[in-house]
Structure 1
Amino acid sequence: MQTLPLLPELPDHTTVASRHGQAISRARFLRDVLALADRLPAGRPLLNLCKDRYLFAIGLFAAIARGNLSLLPNATTAENIAALRAREPDLLCLSDQAEAPFGLPHLPLAFNPDTAPATTATMPQIDAEQTVACVFTSGSTGEPQAHFKHFGRLVAISLAEAERLWTVTGGPCAVLGTVPFQHMYGLESTVLLPLIGGGILSAEQPYFPADVSTALTALPAPRLLVTTPFHLHNLLDAEIGIPPLAALLSATAPLARELAQQAEARVGVPMLEIYGSTETGQLATRQPTQNEAWTLFPGIHLQQQDAATTASGALEQDIVLGDVLELLDATHFHLLGRGSDMINIAGKRSSLAFLNNVILRLPGVRDAAFCLPHEGEASRLAAFVVAPGISTKDILHGLRAWVDAVFLPRPIIFLDTLPRNATGKIPASAMAALIAEHLEPDA
């Protein structure tokens, strides 16, 4: 049995986290983890709903040390929680809220601001094959599916990500994320990357641009901002001051080259992108302004048969990817689009992701999403758009310069907002509801 230390070897005084401007040492973090681990009932599945990223990390690492499985749902709707409770009747909720969420059995967590020196504790050794987390797909392409993650795989990919990113940034960074840490991207890049990869975890999860700027300012340099195309677009549009960064990192949706160029010009640092999925975790990175090709992490292999691409190697199991890839060599590929996004109208092919990127860069468009309400080559595309003061004629005129006429949306439905989740995606159920409300014949 291969075992790994719960945390990497670092001096006890090393700062590993920041919470509301307070630096937290490695010794303090380990003390908090082991104190909670002693309170956990052995073997009981845990639902970690902490909103404070530091307390979430305490709960996650305490569960690993104690041998409990952490369940990380993609959304905390009553329906999702009821499904989890039916799946795991013995579920125990970890939360930093005073009231028990959803009426679940509840173990509340709170930050104790005492400054007493943390005593040196024995580092737990964890079986590399221990299943430590169950994460769920976002539901953007259907019903959420559960995927189990092993400790050794999470450690290995966190170290690989750290090596790849810190090479660009010039060293370990304080990491702030606008993304939820129950999501695979947020878990890997805002919790595991700093704690296993030698950076500094930020407890905050800001959403609005002004709050992002404030939270970044409170962190020591160098700083890394982990975000999404949707959040990045809003941040740049706000035209507020952004403190010096070492790099920007994006995932969850394709990052348009134009948005990446705008971000690099505005912030003055490299704009990096992660490719992966809930099923696989992160697989590759690129800097889209410099190269369209993606570079795989070490130990990841891709094989193709017909149109299907399978990822293997340093994964829990071989996974058939939902994307259409062009393999360039053993370590590089082009991402052509998500399989479910590829459309064929009147014999011409495109992707919803490409069309969304085009419409989102039109002047005056704040948010937008194409959809194909009905399957078949005779179908027409539609688009839901948030664009105050802009007309249908303006949007069609802007699109004609970039897309074939068969892909022009008819109709265009103007809305006040689009139902995006915390990762900036529109779940399949939400898109189906929009189509039913606005595009069905009897709507």
Structure 2
Amino acid sequence: MAAPLLSSLTEPGGDRPDALTVAGRACSREDLLGAAGAVAARIAGAPVAAVRATPTLETVAAVVGGLLAGVPVVPLPPDSGPAERDHILRDSGAALLLGGEDGDGGQAEPVPVDLTERAAWSEPEPEPDATAFILYTSGTTGAPKGALISRRAVAADLDGLADAWAWTAEDTLVHGLPLFHVHGLVLGVLGALRTGSRLVHTGRPTPEAYAAAGGSLYFGVPTVWGRVVRDESAARALSGARLLVSGSAPLPAPVFRGLERLTGRRPVERYGMTETLITVAARADGDRRPGYVGTPLPGIRTRVVAEDGADIGELEVSGPTLFDGYLNRPDATAASYAADGWFRTGDIAAIEPDGSHRIVGRASTDMIKSGGYRIGAGEVENALLDHPAVREAAVVGAPHEDLGQEIVAYVVADGVGEQDLIDFVAGQLSVHKRPRKVRFLEALPRNAMGKPQKKLLPPA
């Protein structure tokens, strides 16, 4: 059984004044625990507390304070618009908004967070099955839903990743990811606190900031790693790192190869969702290949449910990191599980004989059925990105009266024509996987984590 979620944070000794650095400000773990204790004393007994999740030490203290007090924490994007903010606060039932100001939280009372405050907190940790977080999904199919994440799930996930990545107190973790997502907050803050590693959050994930941080372990999303590769001096400065981890979206093969060429390190990819946390990851001591996200973490089981004996299909998972359902949405919770209790990810994957997983896209947008073939959009996107003129690519299936669906590619590229790209893909993949149309854009629509938003693409 995993140790309590915050057990390592509350262990005495081994502290250093710059154990945590966020946007240039540093504090020790002891100072963080004192400030978080003051937050816990102030909010104890509240049903739910939202946190205005800016990239600051105050956000870290607020989140840890909520976890100490056993109050479920709702990370709120600091740039959320009024409709999104009001929905999250109302739907979650958050009575308090930590780090908020008057007018920020509607019915939620703003509660200041002062890093200089100190209070000892000696209450026992809540039970492992207690809710740690209510994390809101991106809301691509309606209003965002609140996923209930238990303390047990977070602890199991972080321990599994520590095992996979040989992540210890000797590491310095560097990232600049948002603190309202699994990647930046759960992995990137609580992971460091649980393993005892030093944390450097760069405020913004710029190549220059990453290069100057001197870490042994780096987290980034593909957009960040693409910018690092384009800044060769910054990339070469990361050659002393032990692991470069990419997630939240597929890492394009050219970026993978660019990181390997410039840093001497093959990046580690991993896969997960808000509802499952991280379930599959390449290991520090294992194989790392472009397009593959590794093998299941300890305790995680995976399977692919495919039609007609196909080698790709919907990925389903089970294990200790899964969420406890959507808040106040029993129908949505039930619909997310297969009849035998496996969680349906909605992602299309293939599992190789050695257990390595390859994610090829979302079932709703990335499984294309064309001329009797089942084609993963991600495979075609990676082929396009291998062309030296292509900077970005997104592939969809558009209705076609003969083929059922035709492959349409949206690209950001210079100095190349439509037929050139069609022929290029046909030369790399099976001919039936070539795009039938190519549309050129100035930029792909993306969300805050760098994921292309295919539903916002113009009509084919």
* TM norm. shorter chain > 0.5: yes
**Which stretch of the first structure deviates more once superposed, 339-348 or 397-406?**
397-406
* Alpha-carbon shift at residue 249 of structure 1 (Å): 0.1
- Cα deviation, 1:225-271, whole Å, max 9, x if unaligned, reads 21122321222023232433221001122234443232122112241
Contact 1:179 1:422 (8 Å CA) reproduced:
no
Letter matched to residue 204 of structure 2: P
- State the match for 2:222 in structure 1: 229
* Alpha-carbon shift at residue 6 of structure 1 (Å): 2.3
Distance (whole Å) between structure 2 residues aligned to residue 18 and residue 200 of structure 1 = 8
**Which stretch of the first structure deviates more once superposed, 149-158 or 320-329?**
320-329
- State the match for 2:334 in structure 1: none
Equivalent position to 2:73, from 70, 74, 97 = 70
Equivalent position to 1:92, from 80, 88, 96 = 96
* Alpha-carbon shift at residue 372 of structure 1 (Å): 2.1
Root-mean-square deviation over aligned CA pairs? 3.3
- Report the TM-score when normalising by structure 2: 0.80
Tell me if 1:176 matches 2:202: no
- State the match for 2:385 in structure 1: 360
- State the match for 1:349 in structure 2: 374
* Alpha-carbon shift at residue 199 of structure 1 (Å): 1.2
* Alpha-carbon shift at residue 386 of structure 1 (Å): 2.0
* Alpha-carbon shift at residue 131 of structure 1 (Å): 0.2
Contact 2:293 2:359 (8 Å CA) reproduced:
no
Segments of structure 1 that go 5 or more residues without pairing to the other structure are: none
Letter matched to residue 237 of structure 1: R
Tell me if 1:382 matches 2:386: no
Distance 1:433 1:60, change over 3 A: same
* Overall identity of the aligned pairs, in %: 22
Distance (whole Å) between structure 2 residues aligned to residue 432 and residue 302 of structure 1 = 28
Equivalent position to 1:255, from 248, 251, 258 = 251
Summarize the alignment of residues 207-356 of structure 1 with structure 2, pairs less than 5 Å apart.
207=205, 211-217=206-212, 219=213, 221-242=214-235, 243=237, 244-286=240-282, 287-289=287-289, 292=292, 294-303=294-303, 309-316=315-322, 318-327=342-351, 332-335=355-358, 337-338=360-361, 339-340=363-364, 341-356=366-381
Distance 1:303 1:380, change over 3 A: closer
Equivalent position to 1:204, from 174, 189, 202 = 202
Distance (whole Å) between structure 2 residues aligned to residue 288 and residue 131 of structure 1 = 34
Letter matched to residue 190 of structure 2: L
- State the match for 2:189 in structure 1: 191
* Alpha-carbon shift at residue 309 of structure 1 (Å): 4.8
- State the match for 1:164 in structure 2: 164
- Cα deviation, 1:132-190, whole Å, max 9, x if unaligned, reads 101123345776432111112212221221232136xx864222224323112222321
Distance 1:296 1:355, change over 3 A: same
Contact 1:5 1:126 (8 Å CA) reproduced:
no
Paired positions, count: 421
Distance (whole Å) between structure 2 residues aligned to residue 305 and residue 380 of structure 1 = 24
Distance 1:84 1:265, change over 3 A: same
* Alpha-carbon shift at residue 23 of structure 1 (Å): 4.1
SS at match of 2:233: coil
Contact 2:425 2:433 (8 Å CA) reproduced:
no
**Which stretch of the first structure deviates more once superposed, 355-364 or 283-292?**
283-292
Contact 1:365 1:386 (8 Å CA) reproduced:
yes
Equivalent position to 1:13, from 12, 15, 33 = 15
Letter matched to residue 264 of structure 2: G
- State the match for 1:400 in structure 2: 426
Contact 2:270 2:293 (8 Å CA) reproduced:
no
- Report the TM-score when normalising by structure 1: 0.82
Letter matched to residue 36 of structure 2: V
Letter matched to residue 406 of structure 2: R
